[in-house]
Chains A and B, each alone.
Chain A
Amino acid sequence: MSRNALISLIVLLVAAPLLPGIALKTKSVLTGRRGAPVLQVYYDLWKLGWKRSVYSATTTWIFRAGPAVMLVSLVAAALFLPLDGRAAPAAFAGDLVAFAALLALGRFALVLAGLDTGSSFEGMGASREVTFATFAEPALFLCLIALVLATGELSLSGMLGAPLAAAWTRAPASLSLVGISLFVLLLVENSRVPADDPATHLELTMIHEVIVLDHGGPDLAVILYSSALKLALFAALVASVFVPRARLGAAASVVALLAALILVSAAVGVVESAMARLRLTRVPQLLAGAGALACFGIVLLLA
């Protein structure tokens, strides 16, 4: 692992809780409120970390393992992303499937933990989360297939690394479509506004928030951090597609990564303040649209 890749990974892991804060701050500013401090998630993590865990008597080890599995799978997924724009800490041909599988594993662990509580609210949230996932995953794979076709590389490290800049000159249209599609996926996968409202406080309408209702203390802190990390992973993915950083210097690429992460989360905030949440039945439609964009990108590449 190169020193530069390690530094970018640490930057991502440390800066992840910043992103929800920036999205929230953007939303607050655009709607004329002052809003919580940008560092709010760090404060929350600190506060939750010092609390005691309380477990319901109906839960089993599955409930306790959920947050840990989610965190580990997301950190492992981060290892496959070439965060410095050159090479990822870990790479092999076909690691894009491993990346998607690790994301799915994290979701699976959280959904199981939610179901383990036996609460009907959490079961409902879990079923919604999984319903959206069945539509989001094909779209993610279509995006990745388009990237494979555009760059001719089979690992995330390759397709988001140096060959991407060359691909932008050959197929700018396909790559823009893939980038837009990935941004829609980011919104849905991270329970952002058109799919879910992170600020909601009504159990019936929540999706992500309702699954974690029974978690508290350090467990909730781990989940909070993992959600921020997932947002950061997707933001890094979108940023890597739109801004190939292979030609930048070592320090410049890390700075560019941080700037891109901030920019993507600000864009999330703009979307959140500009549009209302979609009706539950419309979200699969949105995801099918994202998949259609990626398909169109693939067709353009094959033509």
Chain B
Amino acid sequence: MHTAPQVALLFIVLMNFAVLGTSRLSTCIRAVAVQGLLLGVLALLLAPRFSLHTGVLALGTIVVKAVTLPWFLAWAIREAAVRREVEPLVGFNASLLLGVLAVALAFAIAARLPLPGMQQELLVPVSLATVITGFIVLTARRKALTQVVGYLVLENGIYLFGLTQTESMPFLLELGVLLDLFVVVFIMGIVVFHINREFDSLDSARLDELTD
């Protein structure tokens, strides 16, 4: 009961590294999908007892984060005929280094956060590390699609933080967050499409060229 969530949390951090270190878009998306799956499993593992609440939450997480959104992103790559390589502003090795620093920073901060009712001491540092990783991917990658991936990683981190409070978080609120996420990624997908049609590329830096 104590080690299984730890293993899942470790794998979530490893998936962060995978997103930062890989040069292939499809690997990025797959890593985020695995992360989503781990989040769903984690929601089940961390619940003190199985209830309808945790069951639906876990199922919803897996369906949205591990199946629907990755599938949608993969579809967007195929339809928009994007080059399947990540275009980094910060190199892969430097990003990995930043990722490691993020993990170190997260552990340092988490040790100072006074949080009540912690059952799993790894949960807070891993969630902070995932949030920072999301920010790194958002800022250090050029393609609009990788920015969606960064946003998903960021959201995964926030979700992890939410897991510390599953007992007190209302059910509808969590489903609402999942729905929001779905809608946002959907809108981002449409935006990605329009950027692609306007510039024949997904390079978000070229949005600077837009004028009235």
A residues near B (Cβ < 8 Å) are: 172-173, 177, 282, 284-285, 288-289, 291-293, 295-296, 299-300, 302-303
Contact = CB atoms under 8 A, between A and B. Distances in A.
Contacts of A302: 107
Contacts of A173: 6-7, 10
Interface in B1-52: 3, 6-7, 10, 13-14, 17, 21, 23
B100 A295 contact: yes
Nearest to A297: B10
A53 B42 CA distance: 63
Nearest to A286: B21
Contact of B104 (A177, A285, A299): A299
A292 B96 contact: yes
B207 interface: no
The binding surface of chain A is classed by DSSP as: helix
A8 B104 CA distance: 39
B63 interface: no
Given A285-B92, A299-B104, A292 B111 contact: no
Contact of A292 (B99, B107, B125): B99
A136 B97 CA distance: 15
A291 B6 CA distance: 21
Given A288-B93, A292-B97, 4 more contacts: A172-B3, A285-B21, A285-B96, A303-B125
A139 B125 CA distance: 23
Contacts of A299: 100, 103-104, 107
A300 B104 CA distance: 9
Nearest to B106: A299
Interface of B: 3, 6-7, 10, 13-14, 17, 21, 23, 92-93, 96-97, 99-100, 103-104, 107, 110-111, 125
A183 to B, nearest CB: 15
B21 A292 contact: yes
Contacts of A303: 107, 110-111, 125
A137 B103 CA distance: 22
A290 to B, nearest CB: 10
Contact of B17 (A282, A284, A289): A289
Nearest to B101: A295
Nearest to A172: B3
25 contacts: A172-B3, A173-B7, A284-B93, A285-B96, A288-B92, A289-B21, A289-B96, A291-B100, A292-B17, A292-B96, A292-B99, A292-B100, A293-B14, A293-B17, A295-B103, A295-B104, A296-B13, A296-B17, A296-B100, A299-B100, A299-B103, A299-B107, A303-B107, A303-B110, A303-B111
A303 B6 CA distance: 14
Nearest to B91: A285
A293 B6 CA distance: 16
Nearest to A294: B100
A300 B111 CA distance: 12
Contacts of B104: 295, 299
Contacts of B14: 293, 296
